[in-house]
Amino acid sequence: MFKRVYFDNAASSYPKPQKVLYAVRDILNENTSNAGRSGHYMSEKLAAKIYDVRKKIAAFFGTDETLVVFTQNATHAINLLFFGLLKSGDEVIISDLEHNAVLRPLTALQRQGVSLKIFKTGENSIKNCEELITNKTKLIFVTGASNVTGEVLPVPELAAVAKKHGIYFGVDAAQSAGVISYNLQNDNIDFLCATAHKSLMGIQGAGFLAMKNATEIMPLIYGGTGFESLNPEQPLILPEGLESGTLMSPAIIGLGAAIDYISENKKSIYEKEKMLYSYVYDKLSANNLIIIYSQKTFGVPTLSFNVGNKNSENVCEYLSNNGVCLRGGYHCALLAHQKLGTTDQGVCRLSFSPFNNISEIDYFCDLLRPNKISNL
């Protein structure tokens, strides 16, 4: 009998909380006007709902709602930050676990005179990072948790290093927002980039850049803002000056509902995911064919493995044919795979949510028994 098991939440969460589904359904049924663009009551009502979501995000991450800029996703937010903040002669320091959403824009900016340095993560992450700082370093930017292994970086400690040296500090929280608590003011985080549809359990189409303080960032996209329409120059008033074009209102409304859901259930979500992680880690560890790349200690609900020297995409295709959805290959993360030594094979990435259960893990692990996968 075909069983559907979804273990690809690091790519996009599924299923969504009922609260999120209802919020998106209701706004699609009730109001799909263009928020902040017209003076009629429907537009103004939707704009007020979106502003309420700004306030929820700001409260959740410890900043002011005027410093929350909506984007399409985390990649958009990261590009907005990098291209809007960095100039020729600036240096940026990142970790060796970064997603291509960080590496590729910085690689492009190197052609415009920005310098890129990469520190080695592990026991000496903080020391390794600090040793790279010079008087040209403008930004330290790291992932909150690796999208490949789930390894959690010491964000508060790295932020303290940045503050000591008078350097901006930013976090790619695509995999960790909602699982790990961040407070921009208390944790000295100047910039936090995230998407709605992964660990925050919203839907695809929205993300945000949250700032600790008002910072001069040039727009990535120029155009209509809903105000100063007779001015040919882009108004730089935060946050709307960085949000040209129509916002993805249903996704933003869904994000607000997702933050409500996480706020109401954060402890139980964490305990459930921690329990599932420990259970699957122990089950896979008992299989002599399995190589695990993730740490035993729970950080975020992501675990990567390989079946001996078998191609990870072939293993994931076999699992998919048996109803189990996870991601093989390279996960848009060149640096992480170089660090792991898996650029030839890739890895199988298992990532779950509080909606998964023990029986699904048992089914998945049974498919990886030696007698079932020996011929792959």
- Report, as residue numbers or ranges, the catalytic residues: 332
Residue 245 contacts residue 112 (beta carbons within 8 Å): no
Least Cα distance to 7 among 351, 284, 248, 309 occurs for: 351
Phi, psi values for residue 300, rounded to 5°: -130, 160
Nearest-Å Rg of the Cα atoms of the chain is 21
Q: How many of the other CB atoms lie within 10 Å of CB of 186?
A: 12
Q: How far apart are CA 95 and CA 172, in angstroms?
A: 11
Q: How far apart are CA 99 and CA 173, in angstroms?
A: 11
Q: List, in sequence order, every residue forming a beta bridge with 139; answer none if it has no partner.
A: 92, 168
- The vertex-12 CA angle with 209 and 345, nearest 5°, equals 110
Q: Quick one: how far is CA 64 from the chain centroid?
A: 21
Query: Residue 113 class from Cβ within 10 Å (0-12 exposed, 13-18 middle, 19+ buried)?
Result: exposed
- Give one DSSP letter per residue of 267-324, joined into a string: HHHHHHHHHHHHHHHHHHHT-TTEEE-S-SS-SSSEEEEEETTS-HHHHHHHHHHTTE
* Alpha-helix residue ranges (DSSP H) falling in the chain: 18-30, 41-61, 74-85, 100-110, 125-130, 155-164, 249-285, 312-321, 334-340, 358-367, 370-373
